[in-house]
């Protein structure tokens, strides 16, 4: 089923999207919700902790907690990846994601609240933090948050905390150096076409392709590479770009990742006919040059990895619809308004910020998180009889 591209319509200035904050709600929040920077949370052992029997010291002096204390779900999967949305706002209105008539629907929290949540989750075993939105580069205080998060050390690993961002890239060229200096490890850019006209029609923002391409190059120069470029494919919409993206990966030395379209759009127009399955993507890429499979970087990696026969370029394919990968899921999510979600396709949110604002102690919050994550879904049920779309669209969950 072919989907027509809408006309380019700049809904608002992508350089200046106002913050959406509830003044009455934020006025009621305490000025600082972050807990004291305890040595264990920052991952550094104090002299009194150095001889603890329930932990060991990594070579850099980080205190490692016993692995039995890791946050796990009821299927024994360790939760090592946290996706935190820091804003519901976005300066694009990508047609497969947002209707174009709706703006931000959920509030933002003070940076201190996000930081407290992150510290608690890192103490429970999170090793990778991805900041999302909306468009996270719009968020005031983002660099301060990254600086503070970069000081944290994983509780069960001697490796540094991996801090990443998913961005549409529109503001990236002017921010890449600052993001790197603040402590950002990596960046992923959402980019759904390499044809400038198609790209502008998808984003509804004129001349947006050049801005994003320049942002990608700036990120590479700043040392945030290899940059990953995510493309959501829809049949009859942008699937003509598959071969062009292969060349883009080889020319720009970026990792291009094709993502099957999932029923997470704001307009609720998804159908199986719009999905371009992994096998078709592989077949078309093989026509460009023969593909060579690459091993996964880790067990819970969502993308199947490939390069071409000459070793130039890398392609990833994320196929949650045609070939689900839920069995190794290691992810939990926090929305911009402070709700914990255990799966993209959850039917309910869990009110983490409510517990915090009611005065919950760190121990109470930890116990609450363990109880919620213990009921994490085993898998999604896309395409099965009785499947229900999630209670929020993707943009309101955090990519």
For the domain that residue 141 is a member of, what is the CATH number? 3.20.20.70
**Angle, alpha carbons 133-278-228 (nearest 5°):** 40
Per-residue pLDDT for the chain (399 aa), expressed as one digit of tens each?
Answer: 445 555 545 545 666 665 654 434 444 444 444 333 333 333 333 333 333 344 555 555 456 788 889 999 999 999 999 999 999 999 998 877 766 556 567 789 999 999 999 999 999 999 999 999 999 999 999 999 999 999 999 999 999 999 999 999 999 999 999 999 999 999 999 999 999 999 998 898 998 999 999 999 999 999 998 899 999 998 888 999 999 999 999 999 999 999 988 765 555 566 778 889 999 999 999 999 999 999 988 776 778 999 999 999 999 998 877 776 665 789 999 999 999 998 877 778 899 999 999 999 999 999 999 999 998 877 665 655 665 666 666 567 766
Which of 354, 341, 337, 350 lies closest to 390, judged by CA?
A: 341
Tokens of 250: 């080889």
Which of 383, 393, 252 lies closest to 323, judged by CA?
A: 383
Task: Please check whether residue 10 lies inside any domain of the structure.
Answer: no
Range of the domain at 314: 33-397
Task: Please check whether residue 9 lies inside any domain of the structure.
Answer: no
Measured N-to-C along each axis, helices 242-252 and 208-222 cross at an angle, to the nearest 10 degrees, of: 40
Yes or no: say if 35 and 338 are a contact pair by the CB < 8 Å rule: no
Dist. CA 327–CA 332, nearest whole Å = 14
pLDDT for position 317: 95
**Residues 6 or more apart from 68 whose CB is under 8 A from it?**
none
DSSP code of residue 383: T
Which of 160, 165, 137 lies closest to 150, judged by CA?
A: 160
pLDDT for position 99: 62
Task: Please check whether residue 17 lies inside any domain of the structure.
Answer: no
Task: Please check whether residue 129 lies inside any domain of the structure.
Answer: yes
pLDDT for position 1: 46
Sole residue written with tokens 């529109």: 170
CB atoms closer than 10 angstroms to residue 269: 13
Q: Indicate yes or no: pTM above 0.85.
A: no
Preceding peptide of 226 cis, ω within 30°:
yes
Task: Please check whether residue 365 lies inside any domain of the structure.
Answer: yes
Task: Please check whether residue 24 lies inside any domain of the structure.
Answer: no
* Concatenated DSSP letters of 189-240: EE---SSHHHHHHHHT-TTHHHHHHHHHHHHHHHT-PSPEEEEEE-TTTTGG
pLDDT for position 46: 33
pLDDT for position 152: 97
Residue 316 β-bridge partners = 257, 305
Which of 232, 230, 229 lies closest to 251, judged by CA?
A: 229
Task: Please check whether residue 77 lies inside any domain of the structure.
Answer: yes
Task: Please check whether residue 1 lies inside any domain of the structure.
Answer: no
pLDDT for position 147: 98
pLDDT for position 391: 64
Number of structural domains (the chain) is 1
pLDDT for position 20: 53
Residue 130 β-bridge partners = 83, 164
Helices (H) and strands (E) in the chain, counts: 12, 14
């Amino acid at each position: 089923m072919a989907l027509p591209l809408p006309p380019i319509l700049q809904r608002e200035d992508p350089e200046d999207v106002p913050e959406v904050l509830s003044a009455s709600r934020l006025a009621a929040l305490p000025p600082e919700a972050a807990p004291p920077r305890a040595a264990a949370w920052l991952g550094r052992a104090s002299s009194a902790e150095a001889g603890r029997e329930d932990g060991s010291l990594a070579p850099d002096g980080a205190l490692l907690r016993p692995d039995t204390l890791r946050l796990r779900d009821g299927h024994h999967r360790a939760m090592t990846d946290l996706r935190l949305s820091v804003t519901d706002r976005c300066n694009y209105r990508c047609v497969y994601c947002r209707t174009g008539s709706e703006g931000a629907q959920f509030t933002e929290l003070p940076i201190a609240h996000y930081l407290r949540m992150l510290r608690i989750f890192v103490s429970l075993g999170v090793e990778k933090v991805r900041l999302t939105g909306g468009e996270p580069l719009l968020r005031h205080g983002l660099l301060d948050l990254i600086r503070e998060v970069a000081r944290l050390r994983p509780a069960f690993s001697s490796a540094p905390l991996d801090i990443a961002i998913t961005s549409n890239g529109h503001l990236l060229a002017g921010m890449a150096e600052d993001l790197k200096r603040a402590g950002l490890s990596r960046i992923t850019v959402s980019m759904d076409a390499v044809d400038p006209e198609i790209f502008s029609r998808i984003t509804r923002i004129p001349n947006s392709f050049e801005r994003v391409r320049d942002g990608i190059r700036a990120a590479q120069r700043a040392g945030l590479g290899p940059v990953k470029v995510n493309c959501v494919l829809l049949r009859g919409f942008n699937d003509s770009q598959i071969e062009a993206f292969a060349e883009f990966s080889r020319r720009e030395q970026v990792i291009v990742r094709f993502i099957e379209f999932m029923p997470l759009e704001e307009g609720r127009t998804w159908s199986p006919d719009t999905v371009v399955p992994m096998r078709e993507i592989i077949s078309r890429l093989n026509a460009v040059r023969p593909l060579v499979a690459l091993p996964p970087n880790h067990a819970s990696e969502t993308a199947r990895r490939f390069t071409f026969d000459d070793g130039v370029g890398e392609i990833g394919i994320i196929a949650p619809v045609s070939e689900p990968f839920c069995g190794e899921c290691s992810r939990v999510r926090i929305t911009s308004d402070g709700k914990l979600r255990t799966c993209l396709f959850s039917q309910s949110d869990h009110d983490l910020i409510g517990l915090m604002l009611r005065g919950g102690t760190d121990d109470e919050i930890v116990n609450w998180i363990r109880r919620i994550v213990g009921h994490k879904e085993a898998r999604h049920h896309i395409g099965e009889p009785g499947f229900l779309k999630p209670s929020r669209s993707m943009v309101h969950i955090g990519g």
